[in-house]
Structure formats: C-alpha cells, structure tokens
Amino acid sequence: MKKILFAVMACLAIGFTSCGNKTQQSEAVDSAAIVDSLAQGAAQVTIDALSADIESGDASKLQATLEGIKAKIAEIIKNNPEVAKEYVVKVQNFLKENADKVKSLVGDNAAVAAALSAVTDIEPDNVVSGLLDNIGQAATDAKDAAAEAVNEKVDEAKQAAEDKANEVKDAAKQKANDAVDAAADKTKKALGL
C-alpha cells in the first residue's frame, strides 16, 4: 500500500514539475515576443513618418523626423533598453532599404546628412549604451547642480547667521557703552562736576 502511495505521489510530482517548466519556457518566449511587438509598433510609426517625408521630398521634414528618432530612442530606453535596441534595428533596416531615395532627398544638405548618419552609422548596442551614458551624465550633472545649490544656500544661511550675530553683538556693545556713559554722567552729577 505504501509503495503504491509513493508511486502515485512521484507521478504527481513529475507531472507538476513538467507543467511548471512549460510555463517558464512560455514566459521567456512571451517576453521576447512582447519586446519585438513593442519595438515593431514604435518603429512602424517612425517608418510611416519617414516614408511620408521621403514621398513628400521635403528634406527639412526628414531632418525633423530623424531628430525625433533620437528623442524616441531616449524615451524608450527609460522603459526598456531591449525595446530601444530592436527599435533602432528596425528603423536602420528601413533606412538601408530606402538608401537611394533618402540619399537623393538629402543631396548636399549637410544638416540632414548629419542627422541621417547619426541614426544609421552607429551600432544598435552602441546607440542604447551611448544614450544610457548620456542619461547617466545628465543625472550626474543634475545631482552636482543640486549639491552646488544646496551648498550655496548653506553658505547664505551661515552668512546670514553671522551677520545677525554681529548685529546683536554690536547692539549689545552699544547698549553697554550707553550704560557706562549714563553711569559716568550720573557719577559726575553726584560729584557736582
């Protein structure tokens, strides 16, 4: 009887264990699918804007869209760097596929060419890490500025306290001098001088 009970328990344990592994594998696949889906959605909006700019033949609109791509990457990095990386890959692939159209639109416009190379020439891993470094540097700069402002306020408070202490001390000295003068005048009057 005990042997049968142990056999049944072992079968149940194996069954539960195998179900748990399938769930974990499924979650890993789902997270990769979610990253790809989010990147595809964001990239599609950008690709549609780039397509419209290319079709319109307006280099200034293309430049604005390319500048917007950098801002979008920074925004996505805050939430999920992997999505940002996939976003960059998808946008770069579109730009490479349409390189001839883009180059004919850019022409001699150095500003648009610079914006284009800023998006296309950098590896996605470098774009993500570079923007993360920029965000980290901005945070460090903000922290330093806040510390400097706090130190400035502390120095101002110290100076104000010193000024007030000196003011009180000067007032006390003046009062003491006035009291000494009054006592001297009183003594002179008593002596008849």
pLDDT of residue 80: 74
pLDDT of residue 18: 56
* Separation CA 90–CA 88 (nearest Å): 6
CB atoms within 10 A of CB 19: 9
- The per-type count for the chain, helices as H runs and strands as E runs, is 6, 0
Helices (H), 57-123: 59-79, 81-97, 99-106, 110-120
pLDDT of residue 143: 67
| 32 contacts: CB under 8 Å, gap ≥ 6 | none
* Separation CA 132–CA 78 (nearest Å): 8
pLDDT of residue 174: 92
Each residue's pLDDT tens digit, 42-61: 778 878 887 888 888 877 88
Residues of the chain with pLDDT under 50: none
pLDDT of residue 132: 54
